[in-house]
Each structure stands twice: as C-alpha cells, then as structure tokens.
Structure 1
Amino acid sequence: MTTTETSWLSDQEQRVWRQWIRASWALPAELNRHLQEFSLSMQDYGVLVCLTDTESGQLRMSDLADLMHWDRSRLSHHITRMSTRGLVERRHCAEDGRGAFVAVTDQGRASIERAAQRHVDGVRELFFDGMTEDEMRALESVTSRLLERLESDKRPGGAAQA
C-alpha cells in the first residue's frame, strides 16, 4: 500500500489563507447586520446591485447566477423569497420561452436606494479605512488576478472548454 504525502501550506501561506477566510466571513456578516436595518440581507443587496446596474433593471436568471457565483437552484430559491417580499419579479423570456428574467421592482429599487448610503459607509469604514493607496492598489492587483483565474473557465475558450 502506497501513501502519498500531503504538501501542506507554508506557515505564511497558512496564516494568509486563514486570515482571508476569517475576513471573508466577518466582513459580510457585519455588513449584513447593517443592512438588517433596511430589511435586506447581503444576498438581497447583491441581487439588487446586479439588477440595478443594468439599464433595463433585469437579467436572465442564468446570467445573474453566473455573476453572483451561485448555483441556479440557490438563486431560484432566493429570488422566490425576494419576490414574495416585492423586491423583484420573474419575467418569462419571449425569445426562447424556456429562459426567465428577474427584474427589480419599484419597491426593490426604493429599498436599495434607502440602504445604499449605510452600506457604502460600512464598506468604507470596515474595509477601506486604514488602507493606504499602495495597499489598495496591491489588493486590487491580487484580487483581479484571482478573479481572472477563477472566472477563466466561464468564458468561451476558457479552461472548461479546453
């Protein structure tokens, strides 16, 4: 019986990775607490941002799932909950009959507009305050490269098609 030896992270890699994970849990949790004042979650806010960033205020469900890196089932359940609260609505796609759109409602638009300043203030306070311009540029570079690797398989000719 052969055993393979695990190639562990270096001490520095381990520290950086665990700090990244803890921050990726702590920051959204704190921002979520801020949004509760407006009866929104971070997930609701993310959906509303994606929709209001479009000229039409709507996206195909599959495109929204890709943007948010969510499984389609998770998105469908979340959109159902948001729809029940009047924040979004589902629309059928006339072109192919199978596809569906999700669109922001007037109530959803009003909700994100009410919450936006508190959210921006929280992001600035919790994330950007205390960060130098050089640190911000370095973080931008690191996250851009990371996203490039993570999202390369979703583009035509990306890793998944190779």
Structure 2
Amino acid sequence: MTREGWLDEREQLMWRAFGDMRHRLDAAIERRLTEAGLSTADFELLLPLMEAPDRRLRARELRLKIDWDRSRLSHQLRRMEKRGLLAREDCPGDARGTIIRLTEEGAGAIAAAVPGYVEVVRGLFIDLLTPEETLMLTSLSHRVLARIAGEALGPGKSVYLTTIDHSLAAQDGSAGPV
C-alpha cells in the first residue's frame, strides 16, 4: 500500500533504476573522457564550440547552450584557457561581450575524445535500443523537458526544446536540414 504523497512500488522501482542507470552511464563516460585527458565539464564546453560556425561562440550563447551559471562557466573557461584548449577574444561591436574560440589544441583534444565517448554511449546504451524505442525515448525526453521548462521551479527552457520543432518538422519533411 502506498502512503499518500509517495511513489508506489512500481514507480519507485522505475525511478531508482533510471537514476542508477544515469549515474552509472555518466561515470562510464567520465572514465572514458578522463582516459582522453578531458573532464566531462571540458567536453560539455568543447562540443558546442566544435559544432559552432568558425568554432566560436559568444560566452553568453555558450552558457545558454550548456545551461551553466556565469560563475561556473567563468572558472571552467579560465582552467581550459590555461591548458590551451580555448581562447577568449573581444566581441566586435560589443565591448562587454566575449567570444570563446576553440583552439587547434582544443579541437584536437575533442577529436581524440569523441571516439571513446561514442563507443561508451553506443555500447552501453544506444545499441540496446530498437529503432522504435529510440523514437519513444526521444519523444518522452522532449515531453519531460517541455514540462520542466513550464514549471516555476524548473531550470527554464532547455536548449534541446528549441530543436524539437525542427526535428519533428524534419521527420515529416516540412523543414530543411537541421
């Protein structure tokens, strides 16, 4: 019997299994990235820079993409800049803005880390899912992110939500490349 306000046995089992899975996947990814000389935080910053036009993003845009607060971003940028993985540049036309640029060393570091990252994500997760389960999990993730974005206590709009309309439109052929 479930006490009011508590998860029932089935819900608790699912929630704990989900949390344990996510924790262990994150730990496996962290170990693989560490083998390549990067932390998860390094990888989170380098990936959007690698994908950005000219491998540059305004600091504000990078912060929004990875959903970090300013202080955390600033400290991490400083550490990575000292290691030569990225560089800060003045923003043309905005004296208060800063551009974060991926250096050749940073591009090399993420290029070296990606194969191991993909191997872990694919081997421990993606390869276990059927195509239908992949679509279902994507849909479920979008639904949960949309709910979180709408909640007063939620962290706000996820950068992934901005891709939902484009992804869905691309699947039905009504949009260009995503």
Output the TM-score relative to the length of structure 1. Answer: 0.84
Structure 2 CA distance for partners of 1:62 and 1:15, relative to 1, 3 Å? farther
1:134 corresponds to: 132
Within a 5 Å distance, the mapping from 1:37-52 to structure 2 comes to 37-52=35-50
Moved >6 Å (runs of 4+): none
Q: Equivalent residue of 1:129, what SS? A: helix
2:102 corresponds to: 104
Q: Distance in 1 between matches of 2:133 and 2:38?
A: 31
Q: Distance in 2 between matches of 1:99 and 1:6?
A: 51
Instruction: Name the aligned partner's letter for residue 116 of structure 1.
Output: V
1:12 corresponds to: 10
Instruction: Name the aligned partner's letter for residue 73 of structure 1.
Output: S
Deviations 1:16-67 (A, max 9, x none): 2222222222111111111112111122112111111111211122221111
Within a 5 Å distance, the mapping from 1:22-61 to structure 2 comes to 22-61=20-59
Q: Structure 1 residue 151: deviation in Å?
A: 4.0
Instruction: Name the aligned partner's letter for residue 66 of structure 1.
Output: L
Q: Distance in 1 between matches of 2:38 and 2:120?
A: 14
CA contact (8 A) 2:146 2:157 kept: no
Q: Distance in 2 between matches of 1:130 and 1:21?
A: 18
CA RMSD of aligned residues (A): 1.9
2:148 corresponds to: 150
Q: Distance in 1 between matches of 2:145 and 2:61?
A: 17
Instruction: Name the aligned partner's letter for residue 43 of structure 2.
Output: Y
Q: Structure 1 residue 79: deviation in Å?
A: 0.9
Q: Structure 1 residue 126: deviation in Å?
A: 1.2
Q: Where does the alignment leave 5 or more consecutive residues of structure 2 unmatched?
A: 151-155, 159-178
Q: Which moved more, 1:58-67 or 1:11-20?
A: 11-20
1:83 corresponds to: 81
Q: Equivalent residue of 1:89, what SS? A: strand
Q: Structure 1 residue 78: deviation in Å?
A: 0.8
Q: Does 1:116 align with 2:114?
A: yes
Instruction: Name the aligned partner's letter for residue 54 of structure 2.
Output: S
Q: Distance in 1 between matches of 2:63 and 2:11?
A: 31
Q: Structure 1 residue 6: deviation in Å?
A: 6.3
1:158 corresponds to: none
Q: Distance in 1 between matches of 2:145 and 2:98?
A: 27
Q: Distance in 2 between matches of 1:30 and 1:44?
A: 16
Structure 2 CA distance for partners of 1:72 and 1:23, relative to 1, 3 Å? farther
Q: Structure 1 residue 13: deviation in Å?
A: 2.5
